[in-house]
Structure 1
Amino acid sequence: MDFQRVGTGEHTVLVLHGWFGSSGSWQALLPHLDREAFSYVFLDYRGYGERRGETGRYTVAEAADDVLAAAGELGAERFSLLGHSMGGSVMQRVYADAPERVRALVGVSPVPASGVPFDEQSWALFSGAADSNGNRRAIIDFTTGNRLTGVWLDAMVRHSAENSDRDAFAAYLDAWARTDFHTEIEGAEVPLLVVAGRHDPALGADTMRATFGAWYPNLELEVFPDAGHYAMDESPVALAGTVERFLGRH
């Protein structure tokens, strides 16, 4: 399997993207990373990015198995995980499956291990996104506080459409929204940093405290004042510094 790697440092960080993303979603972050202290490896799920056309069950458990397989290929016995949104669920599943291999977890607007509840109207919007770029644009706009430019929104939609297979994208919604394994990680003492955006209406600080805060005694929560759901795009310099200060302690 081919991986995008950035850095040659001793501390390996496996980076997991969100539902609308791919391994290429982190470009704005790359110039700000410490390449001597860390080795970042950017992974795709089945049906995304470099793995478009690769079939599977498209579940959180399968994605976590693939992450552990990638770590094996890389020769990374221990590693940290950086997960955005859906990637936050996957990283917790990796930890649940192989806790002894995980140094630390960093979630950027991460999906809790309990999944995400939806009302009927919101579910219709999200489930329609597989076949509607308009739905994708509306979701990205909503989750960033209806405050960013149309040019950026269009670029995000374009990246999503070009870097995910339709059926995989559709299936992963069920995977991250309706998978609940929080009883498996409850009380876990792994070091965990969660970054929440002040303009994220669904996975903001209150949701993080009610979920991650209830399950992880060592949670550190940082709220970014100038970000919604996509801190790697909205506040890349601040995110790189926050992530690396945390990981540098573990």
Structure 2
Amino acid sequence: MEHQRIGTGEHTVFVLSGWFGSSRAWQALLPHLDLSAFRYVLWDYRGYGTRRGEAGDFSLAEAAADVLAGADALGVDRFSLLGHSMGGAVMQRVYADTPERVRAMVGVSPVPASGFPFDEAGWALFSGAADEPGNRRVIIDLTTGNRLTGVWLDAMVRHSLENSDRDAFAGYLSAWSGADFQDEIDGGTVPVKVIVGEHDPALGAETMRGTFARWYPNLETEVLANAGHYAMDETPVALAGSAERFLARW
């Protein structure tokens, strides 16, 4: 498993992308990171980015096991996790499996360990995105508050199409939306910060209060102004500062 690694710091952070992302989806954030304090491992799931064409069952358990195998291969015993959206569910699965190895977690509009319930229309929109690029565009527009440019929306859709296999994309939707392992992490003492955008209608502060705040006693929450679901693109300087100020404490 070859993944992009940047930075020379002692503190290793695995960076886990969302459903529409890949390891390449963090490019706008990279110039603002402290590469002397941290070492970042930009991760790809099976079927995504540098791992397109790789077989798998595209589950959270498999994704978490791969992260742990990657940490072993790098000789990293303890590490932190930075997970966006679906990556927020993956990072919690890693923690559930090996809590002693996780220093801290930062979730950026993270999917809770209880998944995300859809109504019939929502499921039709999201499940149809595996085969219909237009659905992907609508979802990205909705989750950023219908306020960003068509040029950016088109680029996000293009990135998703070019960096994910169709079956992996479809499989991960069932994995993160149907997650149900909150009992395994409830009361976990790991330091956690959730960073959400003020314009994210689904995974914003209210959702975090009903999920993460119930499970993690050492939780901090921050709402970023002028951001929706994709803070790494919308407010990269603010996101980098928020995440690293927290991680530096652990």
TM-score, with structure 2 as normaliser: 0.99
Aligned to 1:146: 146
- String of CA shifts for 1:159-204, please: whole Å, max 9, x gaps: 0000000011011100000021000000001000000111000000
In 1, the alpha carbon distance for the partners of 2:30 and 2:6 equals 8
In 2, the alpha carbon distance for the partners of 1:158 and 1:124 equals 21
What percent of counterpart residues are identical? 75
- Output the aligned Cα RMSD: 0.4
In 2, the alpha carbon distance for the partners of 1:74 and 1:34 equals 20
Aligned to 2:193: 193
Aligned to 1:129: 129
AA at the equivalent of 2:211: T
1:213-228 → structure 2 map (5 Å cutoff): 213-228=213-228
Aligned to 2:208: 208
AA at the equivalent of 1:247: L
Aligned to 1:103: 103
In 2, the alpha carbon distance for the partners of 1:191 and 1:166 equals 35
CA drift at 1:6: 1.1
In 1, the alpha carbon distance for the partners of 2:168 and 2:17 equals 14
Aligned to 1:18: 18
Aligned to 2:168: 168
Segments of 4+ moved more than 4 angstroms: none
Aligned to 1:117: 117
CA drift at 1:62: 0.4
In 1, the alpha carbon distance for the partners of 2:102 and 2:187 equals 15
Aligned to 2:8: 8
AA at the equivalent of 1:144: T
1:33-72 → structure 2 map (5 Å cutoff): 33-72=33-72
AA at the equivalent of 1:10: E
CA drift at 1:40: 0.3
Aligned to 1:28: 28
In 1, the alpha carbon distance for the partners of 2:135 and 2:111 equals 20
Aligned to 2:240: 240
CA drift at 1:36: 0.3
CA drift at 1:2: 1.1
In 1, the alpha carbon distance for the partners of 2:193 and 2:182 equals 17
CA drift at 1:47: 0.2
Structure 1: unaligned runs, 5 residues or longer: none
SS of the residue corresponding to residue 29 of structure 2 reads helix
AA at the equivalent of 1:89: A
CA drift at 1:55: 0.7
